[in-house]
Amino acid sequence: MQDMSEQEFLRSYDPGRYPRPSVTADIVVMTLYKGTLAVLMIKRGGHPEKGKWALPGGFLQAGEESAEQAAYRELREETGIAETRLRQLATFSDPCRDPRTHVISIAYTALVPEGQMPLFTAGDDAADAALFRIGLSDGILTLHRDGQTLAGGDLAFDHGAIITCAVQRLRGRASYEPDAFELLPDDQSFTIFQLKRVHEAIFQRPLDAGNFRKWFTRGYVKPGKAVATGAHSTQAGRPAALYKLIQD
């Protein structure tokens, strides 16, 4: 054994010697829906947790892809979303979180621009897909759609905890990273107040218009991360200057 070369070792290596867990990539897809932060959930059509709402995601193809690649693939297959940026959130590995066997979930977040969420049903594992508005205060997560409110038992696996984690991360990042711009309908043409509404949805509290303008000007316009296009919006009220985000 000790005298083997690395090549000999690898030829004789048996990856099945130890029991291995299954690994999934799950994605918390968030968008703005009617002015509030919402998450995409898929109603499970098969066992386990049949009939409960779950995050999009699926099993990683071992040896073929990374968890991030699996997340992109599952997102495309289950929701049609292809043009988005995934960020790794955290990994959930409690051996009892899935009743089938030990299933580890590597969770990602995705932000979809307001109004650009494709809401068709797809995938043989998905009977239904829907956006649920997110409420999170004092660590208590609530999900609702129309009159319906999801209780703890309506959510599959530990996906409620994953969503909570994702919203907290988004709130933490939005103050100092340009994540919120990904929720704008168009980050190449937006007004300061559109951006303010996005931040209000993320933090679930009203922001002062003048102070928000200062924050945006200081942090984005002055350092050249965003510039006024010269065009103006035409809506109710005085026309607003349109800005575009500069891609790095």
Name the residues that contact DNA, by CB under 7 A: 175, 191-193, 208-211, 213-215, 218-219, 232-241
Residue 15 lies near a second copy (rule: CB under 8 A): yes
The one among 38, 41, 42, 67 contacting a second copy by CB under 8 A = 67
Applying CB under 8 A, the site for a second copy has a residue count of 40
Candidates 37, 38, 60, 198; binder of a second copy (CB under 8 A) is 60
The yes or no reply on residue 48 touching a second copy (CB under 8 A) is yes
Alpha helices in 152-208 (DSSP H): 159-174, 192-203
In the complex with a second copy, the residue whose CB is nearer, 76 or 173, is: 173
Q: Which amino acid is at 150?
A: L
Which distant-in-sequence residues (6+ apart) come within 8 Å of 187 by Cβ? 113, 181, 244, 245
- Residue 34 or residue 47: which is nearer to a second copy going by CB? 47
Residue 50 beta carbon to a second copy: minimum distance, rounded to whole angstroms = 6
Shortest distance, CB of residue 221 to a second copy, whole angstroms? 25
Residue with tokens 């799950």: 26
Per the structure block, which two tokens stand in for 143?
Answer: 């999900």
Is 193 within 8 Å of 206 (Cβ atoms)?
Answer: no
CB 244 within 8 A of CB 188: yes
Burial class (CB in 10 A: 0-12, 13-18, 19+), 195: buried
- Compare residues 33 and 53 and give the one whose CB is closer to a second copy: 53
In the chain, count H helices and then E strands.
Answer: 5, 11
Q: Which stretch binds a second copy (CB under 8 A): 42-50, 129-137, 183-191, 204-212?
A: 42-50
Provide the minimum distance between the beta carbon of 111 and a second copy in the complex, in angstroms, as a whole number: 19
- What is the DSSP-derived secondary structure letter of residue 189? S
- Taking the complex as a whole, how short is the minimal distance between the CB of residue 206 and DNA, in angstroms? 9
Distance of alpha carbon 160 from alpha carbon 213, whole angstroms: 34
Rounded CA gap, 161 and 150, in Å? 14
**234 contributes a contact to a second copy by CB under 8 A:** no
What would you measure as the largest C-alpha separation in the chain, in angstroms? 80
Q: Which residue's CB is nearer to a second copy, number 36 or number 168?
A: 168
Residues 93-152 that bind a second copy (CB under 8 A): 93-95, 99-102, 104, 106
List residues near a second copy by CB under 8 A: 2, 4, 6, 9-10, 13, 15, 18-23, 46-50, 59-68, 88, 90-91, 93-95, 99-102, 104, 106
